[in-house]
A and B are shown apart, each in its own frame.
Chain A
């Protein structure tokens, strides 16, 4: 996101000095770069979580919190999964359970998320999914049914977690 600011500054500076057409082309090019950078980087916070929006997608819901050590270890892997399978129909939503969402923001500064985020400070969604441990993940198939659940995150188990995603993505293909 360093590039985001620099690009913005460059855009404003050059816009004042270049001839009209060059300005337009230049700003279009930079906007595309800005926009695509943005898409590839920080997670976006959803205002509401409506699973209907993700029909025919495999949804991986990951419950996390800033104070959870294994959550910090899981983010690089979750980011990698989102990037690897986004175009195959995987949507990852990280549901944050910090009572004070400011703590989540601080966490994300050091450990960024490249997937969608949703704040559940009162644990309503956690209750709904009957969470028994932190972190917890639920993998939903194309029909929105919970097909896999994992409690905890261990680097040594990532192959197993990935398998559960891939098997459901393959189901999408055969539809």
Chain B
């Protein structure tokens, strides 16, 4: 329980502190690259997830979207 509270607190701090971080919408040329996508090899990741789930006791935790060109 303490661990959960700590994590939530840490993420709140991160999120609020994050408002000063970042780049202008037109400075995302590098972030827009295919190889800079968070899930740049989704086939590989899902195969790996399946293999490690069958061979080990842990699973998941990996996440979702964000980053990229930030367009639209």
On A, residues with C-beta under 8 Å from B are: 63, 65-71, 97-99, 103, 123, 126-127, 131-136, 151-154
Contact = CB atoms under 8 A, between A and B. Distances in A.
Given A123-B24, A126-B24, A134 B71 contact: yes
Contacts of A70: 71-72
A131 B28 contact: no
Nearest to B29: A67
Q: Is the interface of B mostly helix, strand, loop or mixed?
A: loop
B8 interface: no
Contacts of B71: 68-71, 133-135, 152
Given A98-B29, A123-B26, A126-B25, 18 more contacts: A63-B26, A67-B32, A68-B32, A68-B69, A70-B71, A70-B72, A99-B29, A103-B29, A126-B24, A127-B24, A134-B25, A134-B26, A134-B69, A134-B71, A135-B71, A151-B72, A153-B72, A154-B72
12 contacts: A65-B29, A68-B71, A69-B69, A69-B71, A70-B72, A71-B71, A123-B24, A123-B26, A131-B26, A135-B71, A136-B25, A154-B72
Contacts, number: 50
A148 B71 CA distance: 19
Interface of B: 24-29, 32-33, 69-72
Nearest to B31: A67
A69 B31 CA distance: 13
Q: Is the interface of A mostly helix, strand, loop or mixed?
A: loop
A135 B26 CA distance: 9
A71 B32 CA distance: 13
Contacts of A152: 71-72
Nearest to B33: A67
B25 A131 contact: yes
Greatest chain B CB density within 10 A among A65, A66, A70, A98 is at: A65
Contacts of B25: 126, 131-134, 136
Contacts of B70: 133-134
